[in-house]
Amino acid sequence: MNIGELAKRSGLTASTIRFYERSGLLATVERRPNGYRTYPPEAVLALDLIATAQRAGFSLDEIRSLLPSDLQSWEHGALIAALRRKVSDIEALQARLARSKADLVALIGEIEAKPDDVDCAENARRVLTRILDKKVEKPALAPGEVRRLGKVGRRRTAG
């Protein structure tokens, strides 16, 4: 099939397909006498694998190292190990994001706990001092349990 047909079947642009070919992700293809590329039907599968791997967070270098030139010679052990490493990377990222979220929720709680007799500038100094002293407390309630009240009588309440 020509590159236009491959682009249509894979959902990728012709320039992306050419890039993958230049990058060594897609096996070099035959050219007809008129210079047009001719792709085998397996190219659709290879492009689907590349796109799926990218959506899963694999870099092009990682994909290149995993994707065999012939899909029949795939190294099962290396593939499983790479997939497990990627799952571990995702879990580590999720843990970092959860910590960041907890820190932000705590900061929001600190800012929203502004006493009525304190202006915004003084509240900012109060919050920054607590942060710098590492005294910011995590909220006792889960983020979904905190509800916002009007400016008067603003307090954390179970909702």
Strands (E) located in the chain? 30-31, 37-38
37-80 confidence digits (pLDDT tens)? 888 888 898 899 899 999 888 899 888 888 876 667 777 888 88
Q: Does residue 154 contact residue 118 with C-beta atoms inside 8 Å? A: no
Higher pLDDT, 105 or 153: 105
Secondary structure tally for the chain: helices H, strands E: 6, 2
Query: In the prediction, which pLDDT does 115 show?
Result: 86
- CA dist 4 → 9, 15, 16, 49 (Å): 9, 10, 12, 19
| Distance, CA of 135 to chain centre | 32
pLDDT at 83: 87
The CATH fold of domain 3-74: Multidrug-efflux Transporter Regulator; Chain: A; Domain 2 (1.10.1660)
Task: Give pTM, 2 decimals.
Answer: 0.58
Q: How much of the chain is in helix, strand and coil states, percent to nearest 5?
A: 60, 5, 35
pLDDT for the residue 34: 84
Q: What is the pLDDT of residue 66?
A: 82
Write phi, then psi, for 30 (nearest 5 degrees): -75, 155
Q: Using the 8-state DSSP alphabet, how is residue 143 labeled?
A: G
CA distance 8 to 18: 14
